Structure 1
Amino acid sequence: MEISNFVIKNLANPHELERMYRKDPEAFRNSFSQAWELNPDSQVLAIWFERLNFKESTNTVKASLFQKDFLSMGILAILAGLVTRIIFQFAEQQSIAHLNIVFGILPFVAAYFVTNKFPRKSILFILAALFIISGVYLNLLPLEQKDSIILAYIHLPIFLWILVGLAFTGNEFGKGSSRLAFLKFNGEFGILYAIMAISGGVLTALTMQLFRFVGLDIAEFYFRNVVLFGAAALAIVAAYLVSRNLKLAKNIAPYIAKIFSPLVLVTLLAYLGTVIWVGKNPFMDRDFLLSFNGVLLIVLTVTIFSITESGKEERKSISDYINFALIILALIIDSVALSAIVFRLSSYGITPNRIAVLGVNILVWANLIWIMISYLRFLQNKTGLSAIQDAVTKYLPIYGLWAAFVAFTFPLFF
């Protein structure tokens, strides 16, 4: 008896058809095609036809999308490498500021997101206009090492990073889930970029050594034409891989968050204990105050990274209590720093550095209060994890606005 006849005779026996398919899928497919030709009006066979062919058509669509994404990634990576190399050439000649190198990377990362998300024309116009204005403004600043200029150099990349976030979220820039996805992307991007950069560093060291064996020192040439190009292009490649849901970064990121949070907590407690023991005073020691603010930003970054990698689980874990302790610790550090900054302003007068640091500390303090209250309610079972994530994501534009304010106004005011 032919298998095709078996399929036809068991049209009313779905269990037997399923058993036959699982036993030998390839033979079933071959016999099914014959049965389908003989019975094109059968509803049972029509369902089996969709089942057997749906996956193939989906794969075809995915393959075409993969090729399109890969092509756009390749073009943008090459352009990013070339533009970065050209910018570095002018920066070396002291024609432009070295910070212009960010324009060889961030606009192309934003362009990659735009080519895949197709945001509204208004968003495209805003992105293009702000990137162009920022580039022109940066190169209108005098090449001087004044405090206001240095502050602009520090804050402008933060503003550009917010623009990349706008490109990433596209038409959904107002949604907390999209902003959270952007923060998760940054964590996974950083992990993947670091892994690939380390691999590139090993390849660079090996290449240098191989050429030294034949009496050639190619260090300068290799850095200018390979390392710079590769570092910029790698940013686009990493963005592409993370966007393609690469399992490596997504699987590693939550574990890194869970490992680093307790380590940072223990380290900072030991550090603060040592500070008290040796009698360091942030009110009088400017350098120590700056390092104190650096510690604050590290704690904030680790906490946000841990929160974004918490997923959607509403169940509390030891990580949540560690995060809450980190937030309390950050609030203590920020409160001391704020007091020291206000003291220095009243004692030594107004400077752009003090105003900038004061503004950042106030913003961070307010954000930490919001996160702490949300976390406390979560630990008391009064709200869900989404409230904590909202406290993080909804505050992002405020950091961007402050960065823009410092970058674009301080050189004019001071």
Structure 2
Amino acid sequence: MENNNLIIENIANPHELERIYRKDPKAFKKSFLQAWEQHPDSQVLGIWYERLHFKETANTEKSPLLQKSFILMGILAILAGICTRVIFHFVEQEVIAPINLAFGIFPFIAALFVYNNTPKKRMIYSLVALFIITVVYLNMLPLNDKDSIILAYLHLPIFLWLLLGLAFTGNQYSKGSSRLAYIKFNVEYGILYASMAVCGMALAALTMLLFSFIGLQIEDFYFSNVVLFGAAALAIVAAYLVSMNLKLAKNITPYIAKIFSPLVLVTLLVYLMAVIWLGKNPFLDRNFLLAFNGILFCVLAVTIFSITESDTDQKKSISDYINFALIVLALIIDSVALSAIVFRLSSYGITPNRLAVLGVNILIWANLIWIMISYMSFLKSKSGPSTIQDAITKYLPVYGLWAAIVIFTFPIIFN
């Protein structure tokens, strides 16, 4: 009764009503019904009534659509599992390269995106053609360990990721907001898939342990037929759940960004000081140069993750200064790596590996410059956070184009 009196007493005070609701939503909803019965003509309470009951109506209207999409998800998940298992059989026979396992997952996720977005037929035909051309071309390459072939395999996931982006954005592929949504999807997808995979691994370990108690060793069979099928099917299920706006991943990603950005910054600063102290030289040490590039990719990924999770209406905060410091640090690392790569090219000649690393470092260097300039403008209050996000989203096709160049030209040029 006390809460009911508070609602009636503060019927003309929206701020106080919001405070009461946030303090105890369940008690508010319970006492609200009594207040609504006493004041059915109140416009304020009428708005609150719609707010408290809107979700139930929305869910009822969407239920047929959800059922159709759920059935489609189930069909695609089963097809992905079967297709992956068949591909794995040919991989075991050494008929095709292991990278073909990607074609047991990516096309089915793309099909799920196409169903959700319904792009123009020209877009659908283009996606189908690109997938077919890619799989045919890769399987025409010789099965050997030449650098150009391995580079093509390594760049394939990047190219397929770009195709998934086209399927995800649909007719809105040129809009920065759609590309930003795709990046956020990937972050949430990664968190959700990893969480579900951990549960799956725990179940697999328990299953094999239980069968070992009765003298049956099922590890090989279980991996080839259950784990492989489940991993592929789970990829489709996770994409479906994130597409349906699952709140778990959405709520946790901003906090992960805020926690990991300063930790990565401190760790890298300490690491670089240790590198300088020990006198490590990326110009002469090939393995250290590769590690240096690995660090660069990690910093770039963390920075992009943190920037995309920030609100476009958010004002400057300590997180923005941490992000800016990470960008500057990444730019320094990339500049050193670029110098070392140019040095090795001039000293030891051109190889597929050196050319590929040079290309990707130049692309990252240019992207970092663009992001840094946009961030400086934001920190000086000359622009908003959206300009920083544009520096990321508008540059994404460049990475996909470079991946396509490596995949489709390097094996031909260097073989």
Q: Which bracket does the TM-score occupy, shorter chain normalised?
A: 0.7 to 0.9
Match in the other structure for 2:238:
238
Partner of 1:378: 378
Inter-CA distance 21–282: structure 2 relative to 1 (3 Å threshold): closer
**Distance of 2:393 and 2:54 partners within structure 1:** 38
Please report how far the alpha carbon of residue 274 of structure 1 lies from its aligned counterpart in structure 2 after TM superposition. Answer: 1.1
Structure 1 residue 69: Cα displacement: 1.2
Q: Which amino acid aligns with 2:166?
A: L
**How high is the TM-score relative to the length of structure 2?**
0.87
Letter in 2 for 1:239: A
- Unpaired segments ≥5 residues, structure 1: 1-19, 30-46
Is residue 150 from structure 1 mapped to residue 150 from structure 2 by the alignment? yes
Counterpart of 2:393 in structure 1 is 393
Q: Which amino acid aligns with 1:159?
A: F
1:311 is displaced (CA, Å) by 2.1
Q: Does 1:177 align with 2:177?
A: yes
Q: Is 1:135 the counterpart of 2:144 in the alignment? A: no
Which residue pairs with 1:164 in the alignment?
164
> What do the CA deviations read for 1:71-126 (whole angstroms, capped 9, x no partner)?
11111011001100100010011000000000000111100000111100010011
Which range moves more in the overlay, 284-293 or 388-397?
284-293
Correspondence for 1:41: none
* Structure-1-length-normalised TM-score: 0.88
Kindly provide the amino acid, as one letter, of the partner of residue 309 in structure 2.
Answer: E
In 2: Cα distance, 1:297 partner to 1:366 partner: 14
Percent same amino acid among aligned pairs?
71
Q: How does 1:5-404 map to 2 (within 5 A)?
A: 22-23=33-34, 58-404=58-404
Describe the SS at the equivalent of 1:316.
coil
Cross-structure match for 1:6: none
Q: Conserved in 1, the CA contact under 8 Å of 2:312 and 2:384?
A: no
Give, in whole Å, the separation in 1 of the partners of 2:321 and 2:56: 47
CA distance in 2 between counterparts of 1:372 and 1:400 reads 22
Give the deviation of 1:25 after TM superposition: 7.9
- Give me the whole-angstrom Cα distance separating, in 1, the residues matched to 2:57 and 2:303: 43
Provide the residue aligned with 2:20 in structure 1: none
Counterpart CA distance in 1 for 2:60 and 2:115 is 20
Q: How far did 1:333 drift?
A: 0.2
Q: Name 2:10's counterpart in structure 1.
A: none
State the Cα deviation string for residues 175-207 of structure 1 (Å, max 9, x = none): 000000000000000000000000111111111
- Deviation at residue 57 of structure 1 after TM alignment: 6.0
Q: Is the 8 A contact 2:87 2:101 kept in 1?
A: yes
- Residue 4 of structure 1 aligns with which residue? none
Gaps spanning 5+ residues in structure 2: where?
A: 1-30, 41-45
1:16 corresponds in structure 2 to none
AA of the residue aligned to 2:249: A
Q: 1:25 to 1:206 in 2, by over 3 A?
A: farther
- 1:87 partner letter: I
Structure 1 counterpart SS, 2:64: helix
Larger Rg: 1
Q: Distance in 2 between matches of 1:68 and 1:311?
A: 33
Letter in 1 for 2:131: F
Partner deviation per Cα, 1:205-226 (whole Å, 9 max, x = no partner): 1111111111111111110011
Residues in 2 aligned to 1:240 and 1:55: alpha-carbon distance in whole angstroms: 20
**RMSD value, Cα:** 2.3
Task: Tell me the secondary structure at the aligned position of residue 174 of structure 1.
Answer: coil
User: Is contact 2:114–2:170 with CA below 8 Å preserved after alignment?
Assistant: yes
Matched residues, number: 378
Deviations 1:37-93 (A, max 9, x none): xxxxxxxxxx99xx8998776433211111111111111011001100100010011
CA deviations 1:229-272 (Å, max 9, x no partner) are 01111111111111111110001111111111111111111111
Cα distance in 2 for partners of 1:406, 1:24 equals: 68
Q: Measured at CA, do residues 333 and 21 of structure 1 come closer, stay the same or move farther in structure 2, by a change above 3 Å?
A: closer
Q: What is the identity, as a one-letter code, of the residue corresponding to 2:200?
A: G
Q: Cα offset for 1:387?
A: 0.1
3-state DSSP of counterpart to 2:170: helix
Residue identity matched to 2:111: A
Say which SS state the counterpart of residue 388 (structure 2) adopts: helix
In the TM superposition, residue 23 of structure 1 has moved relative to its aligned partner by 2.9
Distance 2:368 2:54 in 1: 49
Supply the distance in 1 between the matched residues of 2:238 and 2:53 (Cα, whole angstroms).
34
